[in-house]
């Protein structure tokens, strides 16, 4: 398995050999610094810890400063662990976007855009109560009856209602990497990736 931390830059489109226009998300993938290599003997499990994104020293805690100095690197914004790496790494190594190849498929994890408090029409695709006839007033986007009477005399858990929408961890699977640009540390991934521009994402295959 290969994994990397990246940052969503935005979207673009490219043409393939047949002239088809392919929508792509541009991801600044790496370079990530290996800040720690965990082993079964020392930590009880094996994983590789990666760090990405520059951060000011004044905004970094002293324990983390010591952790980064062990890896001979500057403070980083995002630190994450990944298991089942195919390649062997040492502390201080760099993981770059060239661990992926064009044509590979990857799973992308990001945090979706926050929508705030939304009603049932936007959140769950309800159709609303209907037209404005028969005395209806301002009911077009209402949820309607909740369906509970003398039993169970409460709203059941999991009922689709208005509430907080977005700002959640989302994984999109099997997205194709259509172009690798190691000089600019960029990956072009076919399709959309959750999150706003500048948000952190992880790519794994």
Residue 130 lies in a domain: yes
pLDDT in the model for residue 152: 86
Over 29-91, what HEC string results?
A: ECCEEEEEEECHHHHCCCEEEEEEEECCHHHCCHHHHHHHHHCCCCCEEEEEEECCCCCCCCC
C-alpha count within 13 angstroms, C-beta hemisphere, residue 62: 0
pLDDT in the model for residue 90: 83
**Helix, strand, or coil (residue 115):** coil
Sign of CA dihedral 17, 22, 28, 29: negative
Question: Is the domain of 155 the same as that of 97?
Answer: no
CATH of the domain at 92: 2.40.30.10
Let me know the angle formed at the C-alpha of 111 by 108 and 115, rounded to the nearest 5 degrees.
Answer: 135
Question: Is the domain of 68 the same as that of 9?
Answer: yes
What's the pLDDT tens digit per position in 2-29?
A: 889 999 999 999 998 899 999 999 999 8
pLDDT in the model for residue 1: 78
Q: Is the full-model pTM beyond 0.95? A: no
pLDDT in the model for residue 115: 95
Question: Is the domain of 84 the same as that of 110?
Answer: yes
**Of 107, 97, 102, 98, whose CA–CA distance to 22 is shortest?**
102
Tokens found for residue 77: 């914004």
Q: Which residue numbers in the chain have pLDDT < 50?
A: none
Q: Which residues constitute the domain of residue 38?
A: 3-118+169-204
Q: How far apart are CA 188 and CA 137, in angstroms?
A: 49
- Helices vs strands, H then E, count in the chain: 3, 12
What's the pLDDT tens digit per position in 35-45?
A: 888 888 888 88
Question: Is the domain of 89 the same as that of 190?
Answer: yes
**Helix, strand, or coil (residue 98):** helix
pLDDT in the model for residue 72: 86
pLDDT in the model for residue 171: 95
Sign of CA dihedral 111, 116, 121, 124: positive
In terms of Cβ atoms closer than 10 Å to its own Cβ (0-12, 13-18, 19+), residue 2 is middle
Q: What's the total number of domains in the chain?
A: 2
**Of 91, 43, 96, whose CA–CA distance to 69 is shortest?**
91
Mean pLDDT, the chain, rounded, equals 89
pLDDT in the model for residue 92: 81
Q: How far apart are CA 197 and CA 184, in angstroms?
A: 17
Question: Is the domain of 87 the same as that of 176?
Answer: yes
pLDDT in the model for residue 144: 83
């Amino acid at each position: 398995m290969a994994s990397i931390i990246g940052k969503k830059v935005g979207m673009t489109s490219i043409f393939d050999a047949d002239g088809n226009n392919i929508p792509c998300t541009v991801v600044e993938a790496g370079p990530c610094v290996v800040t720690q290599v965990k082993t079964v003997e020392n930590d009880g499990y094996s994983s590789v810890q990666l760090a990405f994104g520059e951060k000011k020293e004044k905004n970094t805690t002293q324990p983390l400063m010591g952790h980064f100095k062990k890896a001979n690197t500057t403070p980083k914004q995002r630190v994450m662990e990944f298991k089942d790496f195919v390649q062997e790494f040492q502390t201080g190594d760099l993981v770059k976007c060239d661990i992926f190849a064009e044509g590979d498929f990857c799973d992308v994890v990001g945090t979706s855009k926050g929508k705030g408090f939304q009603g049932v029409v936007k959140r769950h695709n309800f159709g609303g109560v209907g037209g404005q006839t028969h005395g209806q007033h301002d009911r077009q986007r209402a949820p309607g009856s909740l369906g509970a009477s003398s039993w169970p005399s409460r709203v059941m858990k999991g009922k689709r209602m208005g509430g907080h929408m977005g700002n959640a961890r989302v994984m999109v699977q099997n997205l194709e990497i259509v172009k690798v640009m190691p000089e600019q540390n960029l990956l072009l991934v076919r399709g959309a990736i959750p999150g706003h521009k500048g948000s952190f994402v992880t790519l794994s295959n």
